[in-house]
Chain A
Amino acid sequence: MNVFDKIQPNSGSVPPPSSNTTKRPKSLAAMLSRNRSSTSKFDNLSTTITNNDDDSNNTANTTSETNNNTTTTPINDDDNTASPSITTNTTNTTTPTYTPTTPPPPPPAALKQRRISMAAYTQKPSTTTINTANDDNNNDNNINSPPSITTTSSSVTNIDITNNNTTPMDLLTTIDCKQNNIEVGSSSVPSTPTTTTGSNVSTPTGTKPTTATATAGNRKSQKPAEVLNPQDFYSVDLSQLTYTPDPDSSIVIQENQIEHASLNKLIEELTSHTNYDIHFLHTFMLTFRNFTDKETILKKLEERFNYPPNCPPEEFATFKREILDKVRLRIINSIKYWIENFFVFDFDSEMMQFLSKFIEMVRKSNQNALAKVIENTLERVKNNDSGKVITKVECPEILKLKKKVFSKKKTYSILDYPLQEVARQMSLIDYTMFKKIEPKECLNQAWNKEHRVTKAPNISRMIQHFNQFSGFVATEILKQEDHEKRVKCVEKFIELANHCKGLNNFNAVFSVMSGLNSSSIHRLSKTWEAISEEAKKTREELLSITNTNGNFANLRNMLKTVNPPCVPYNGVFLTDLTFIEDGSPKYINGLINFGKCRLFAKVIRDIQTYQNTRYNFEEYKELKDQIEAVEKLSDDELFNMSLQVQPRAQKKKKVATSTANASASSLKEDDEENEKKPEKLDF
């Protein structure tokens, strides 16, 4: 049986959260719950889920069933794969029959799950002692069948498993993540795809005391009766810490993905001590500008860093180790990711001041190592050390202009150069502009607003160049002295566009083709008839790329299979972003529509994919300068020239040119008819 089929997300059980939320937990076990929701006071540190209705009836069943089947899958995380510093302090329990020695690779299916567990890092499980009330031997089948590996729950000291129905497996794996650069993953259970909005909110470790007590091995790192002064770990006076988390109803999860959530809940997710989801981090950092600003995010992370210890002093050490340290580490890692990916964009001088204060606060909280992580990241980013090595491959030789000795020409047109080289230089120029586009430019339709030049400088510059070059194409054709030269010129631009296509520069293909398709050129039927058959065929092929049918289906398909380097035509992305923006609400029931953010992130990630690979061509300055400085005439000038080249075939009635001089003939429409309500409408 596939365990995923059976397990509900966040399953784990009794009692219903409401029964316990206000009481202080009797033991830390509750707060150590690895489930997404627990009933302890520390719930708000773990992610919680709404809609726990309809569970109460079958809680007991759910409990036993899910417990029996609870599995977690160890996974190697990005940064901290089996880092030597990850040690399981105490293996509280495991199945008697299976003790993994190394974390096996996760099953592919598990990778896709939003919640990835890291719970089964058990490096020294050998000395495990189990004294549990429940021996769940009946689920050995599940337990022993990798890749779904049994949870290796552990905790530090003697832990009361407070629910008779709870199996030891439900306890949290303790990972000693002392300020190493370690991410702590979640150990929540992947859900079945059919699972709907978070049901089964509960905790495996309920309120009823039981006899299940676990003592454990690996005592090396065990520090019983550790007493710490909470104030030592906060930069502000504890009495000032007033953070109150949002209620569980502030997050809606479907199919293991966050659909809507409040900002506080998103921050909790981002820095949860149980769940780790790199995709969520990517999406969040790419799109938070859609619903808030960078200053707010930093402020929220600071609030979260100063999460108050709502536990008696004697439990603080455990709280700190099991929750606070992990949360703080996640905060630092989130900021690290943020700096690494959005430094130039978000961290202006004002923001750097905030960040300095933040680092100061971290340091005062006795977290020097964490402060150091941020400082080192900053240092590295400032030195522009991306850590990536670009292998230098020799680029093809520049195809130079063969200047004819007897030519009277003093200046050369772009079309005098070898067209292959023109396409290369155009691609270099376009890619350089494209590469600079930042995610922030893509959100809130920044490129389409009044301040587009400052808010979306790179997108704007690219569009401007696009229009300029398109106008140049039309200008160049109409400037030709006679029919033959004009035909030749059109053929050359078709050839140029084809070279651009060969280089996957779709931006240039669209630009050249839009010049050829502009009214003033498109109408020159005599010219079009005269171009070579080959040029006609090539034109057809190019037009199929720019064809808008099926939502730019041809272009989209080409982009999917293209081999980088590539400069896509940005307009399609911009339309997608516009429709994502306008097609769905930013907030749903007052919560941030995070599903929408995921759609945004998908488009932005596509853009980033194409940004990654550069063209390997040498710059041909003289040609490049010329391409960048192309000139064009206005549309009206071009159209007038076009009419001179080839006058209209038929007489055309004067068209209304403005409100004032609209021709009387166009007034014939009956107003009433215009306003007539449609009689039959069946959509």
Chain B
Amino acid sequence: MAPKETTTNSNSNGMQEFKLAVIGGGGVGKSALTVQFIQNIYIEEYDPTIEDSYRKHAKIDDKPVFLEILDTAGQEEYKALRDSYMRTADGFLMVYSVIDRKTFEEVNEFYEQILRVKDCDKAPMVLVGNKCDLESERVIRIDEAKVYSKQLGIPMIETSAKQRLNVDESFALLVREVRKSLKSSDEDQLTKKKKKPCSIL
């Protein structure tokens, strides 16, 4: 069998460890979202070349979690690598820009690709409409995005990386989704009658 590349879901201390991928077309503000999440303070020179640039300890719903964010912003055109990158992640933030319809339409492509990579019909994902501060330029109404996210069966949230609005919340939503899938996976193994969720391990 092929070697596993995914991260383990808990470290030696028993703390949960998740790898979350931030996915989306170029220019949706993925990287800004990630930087805002990783760095709590406003920073004049963000150096992304160091090992801990994308790691963070967080406490979500009172439970601590160690997060490694996989954000390959800038590598969007390396389409051949998407499968590899997606396979390593436990959960996905699918980001579009509310001022760019093309990026909203691209989400479906990512959605399908994630399910294909994970070889299952459900994976922990959150739909994120970024740049919601640019109200006057908005082309994707929140209702439209809600209807779509309902169809996909995933949570949806609007964010503004610029104004640091809902940034932490979007990641927290995703962590909950990942936890939910782990839980249902456990149940699955016990009951063995539900549909097979994505195996993360």
Contacts and interface: CB of A to CB of B under 8 A. Distances in A.
Interface of A: 259, 445, 447-449, 452, 460, 463, 466-467, 470-471, 510-511, 513-515, 517-519, 522-523, 525, 528-529, 536, 539-540, 543, 546-551, 553, 556, 571, 574-585, 588, 593, 595-596, 598-599, 602-603, 639, 648, 650, 652-659, 662, 665-669, 671, 673-675, 677-683
Contacts of A543: 3, 5
Nearest to B105: A659
B81 A510 contact: yes
Looking at B7, B83, B120, the one whose CB has the most chain A CB atoms below 10 A away is B83
A602 B85 CA distance: 26
A683 B40 contact: yes
Contact of B169 (A448, A588, A666, A681): A681
A539 to B, nearest CB: 7
B46 A579 contact: yes
B15 interface: no
A674 B149 contact: yes
A603 B49 contact: yes
Interface string B128-162: 00000000000000000010111111111100000
Contact of B2 (A528, A580, A582, A667): A528
Contacts, number: 224
Nearest to A259: B44
Contact of A582 (B35, B72, B120, B151): B35
A655 B52 CA distance: 36
Contacts of B39: 583
A153 B122 CA distance: 76
Interface string B86-128: 0110000000000000000000100111011101111000000
Interface string B61-90: 110000010111111111111011101100
A598 to B, nearest CB: 8
A655 B195 CA distance: 13
Given A514-B80, A548-B85, A680-B60, A671 B150 contact: yes
A679 B176 CA distance: 11
A583 B80 contact: no
B87 A522 contact: yes
Contacts of B49: 551, 556, 576, 602-603
B152 A656 contact: yes
A682 B59 contact: yes
Contact of A448 (B27, B117, B154, B157): B27
Nearest to B60: A681
Q: Give 7 closest A-B pairs by Cβ, nearest first.
A: A583-B46, A578-B74, A666-B153, A579-B48, A470-B80, A662-B151, A674-B155
A467 B83 CA distance: 12
Nearest to A602: B49
Given A523-B119, A549-B68, A668 B153 contact: yes
Given A655-B121, A682-B58, A683-B59, 13 more contacts: A448-B77, A470-B81, A510-B81, A517-B83, A525-B2, A549-B68, A550-B52, A551-B49, A551-B50, A579-B73, A596-B44, A656-B152, A674-B150
B61 A679 contact: yes
B5 A584 contact: no
B79 A467 contact: yes
Nearest to A445: B74
B170 to A, nearest CB: 10
Contacts of A583: 31-32, 35, 39, 43, 46, 48
A674 B56 CA distance: 24
B9 to A, nearest CB: 14
Contacts of A511: 80
A266 B1 CA distance: 58
A678 B116 contact: no
